[in-house]
Amino acid sequence: MKGFRQIIWLIRKDLALQFRTKDTLILIFVFSILVVLIFSFAFGPIFPDDPEDRAKLAASVLWTAFSFAGIITLNRSFDLERANGAIQGVRLTGVDPSNFYLSKVISTLVFLTMLELIVTPIALQFLEVLDVLPAIVQERLLLTLLKLIGVLAIGTLGFCAVGVIVSGISTSTHGKESLLSVVLLPLIFPVIMAGAKCSVSLLTTGGLEGNFWISILVVYSLVFLASAYLLFEFVIEG
């Protein structure tokens, strides 16, 4: 019971500090929009007319933008813990390292999902996808968007499950922000593949029928949540 309360307080701390200087939310938001715009312009010359192709492009852009946004968020999150030895203060309270891991996964998930909630509709509009969606999807647009956010959330969960523990081991070095990217990106390929496939399915058919990619996202999240939960003790306590 005490552990559960500690997790809640840790999550509240993360969200308070991430949002306190609204800096972080705005920074990551602007970054994500910029990535989307860069893709829009970079693909300008070959911008597809076909709705299905456009949906594919949108899916790729979304998952890329959110992966990079996620990496920045994780970097900042751990920098915050290491600054002034704050994490040592947390360790001294006798918090179980595995609970600390869970709290980080949840708070990062919440933060990134909120970001996705805001950026996705905007991105879809910039990529001119919303207008060309097939009729089936247009009719249930809101529901489809919500399902899309849902898929993004599950993908983000997998991303955070691996990302938090990898940040734990990659951000201990000073001034090597790119280290996290190099270590984390190869590990999250399955999330990006599965996530993109699910997103395309949602945007072109409004549903996930016959799409088992969602099970890959779920399996991935479970495998890494479980293993990282067990391994995180070694990251914090050495």
Partner 1 sequence: MTRVQLIGILATLCLFMALYFVFSYAKVEATMLEVQKIFYFHVSSAFTVFIAFGVTCLFSILYLIKRKDRYDMIAVASAELGIVFCTIVLLTGPIWARYAWNTWWNWEARLTSTLILWLMYIAYFILRSALAEETKRVYSAVLGIIAYLNVPIVYFSVEIWQGNLHPSTDTKMNLHPTMVKAWMISWLALSVLYVFLLVLRYQTERLKSQLETIQYQQMEKT
Partner 2 sequence: MILLQATQITKRFAHRMVLNGVDLDVQAGEVVAIFGPNGAGKTTLIKILSTLVKPTSGAFQIAGIDAIANPLRVRSSLGVVAHEPFAYLEWSPYENLKFFGRLYGVDALEERIADLLADVELTPFAHEPVRIFSRGMTQRFMIAKALIHDPTLLLFDEPFSGLDVAAKQFVLKLIQQERARGKGLILTTHDTELGYHAASRFLFLLDGQIEPVAEKAEIELTELSRQYEQRLKK
**Which stretches of the chain bind partner 1, using CB under 8 A?**
162, 165-166, 169-170, 172-173, 176, 179, 182-183, 185-187, 189-190, 193-194, 197, 216, 219-220, 223-224, 227-228, 231, 234-235, 238
Q: Is 94 left (phi over 0), alpha (psi -120 to 50) or beta?
A: left
Give the nearest distance from C-beta 74 to partner 2 in angstroms: 18
* Residue 234 binds to partner 2 (criterion: CB under 8 A): no
Query: Which of 1, 83 has the CB closer to partner 1?
Result: 83
Give the nearest distance from C-beta 118 to partner 2 in angstroms: 24
In the chain, where does DSSP find H-type helix? 2-20, 23-42, 51-82, 86-92, 97-126, 135-139, 141-170, 177-187, 189-205, 213-237
* Binds partner 2 (CB under 8 A): choice among 49, 50, 209, 237: 237
Give the integer Cα–Cα distance in Å for 75 and 180.
8
* Residue 41 binds to partner 2 (criterion: CB under 8 A): no
SS3 (DSSP) at 173: coil
Give the nearest distance from C-beta 179 to partner 2 in angstroms: 21
- 88 is in the binding site of which of partner 1, partner 2, none (Cβ under 5 to 8 A by kind)? partner 2
Q: What residues contact 92, with CB distance under 8 A and at least 6 apart?
A: none
Query: Which of 5, 140 has the CB closer to partner 2?
Result: 5
Which residue type does 57 have? Answer: L
SS3 (DSSP) at 129: coil
Q: By CB under 8 A, which span of 92-100, 131-139, 144-152, 162-170 interacts with partner 2? A: 92-100
**Residues contacting partner 2: total by CB under 8 A:** 25
* Binds partner 2 (CB under 8 A): choice among 17, 118, 193, 208: 17
Q: What residues numbered 102-131 form the site for partner 2, per CB under 8 A?
A: none
Q: By CB under 8 A, which span of 61-69, 82-90, 145-153, 219-227 interacts with partner 2? A: 82-90
Q: By CB under 8 A, which span of 76-84, 129-137, 150-158, 192-200 interacts with partner 2? A: 76-84
Give the integer Cα–Cα distance in Å for 3 and 53.
48
DSSP string covering 29-94? HHHHHHHHHHHHHHTGGG---SHHHHHHHHHHHHHHHHHHHHHHHHHHHHHHHHGGGHHHHHHHTT
* Contact (CB, 8 A) for 200 and 56: yes
Which residues of the shown chain bind partner 2 in the complex (CB under 8 A)? 2, 5-6, 9-10, 13, 17, 20-21, 80, 83-86, 88-96, 237-238
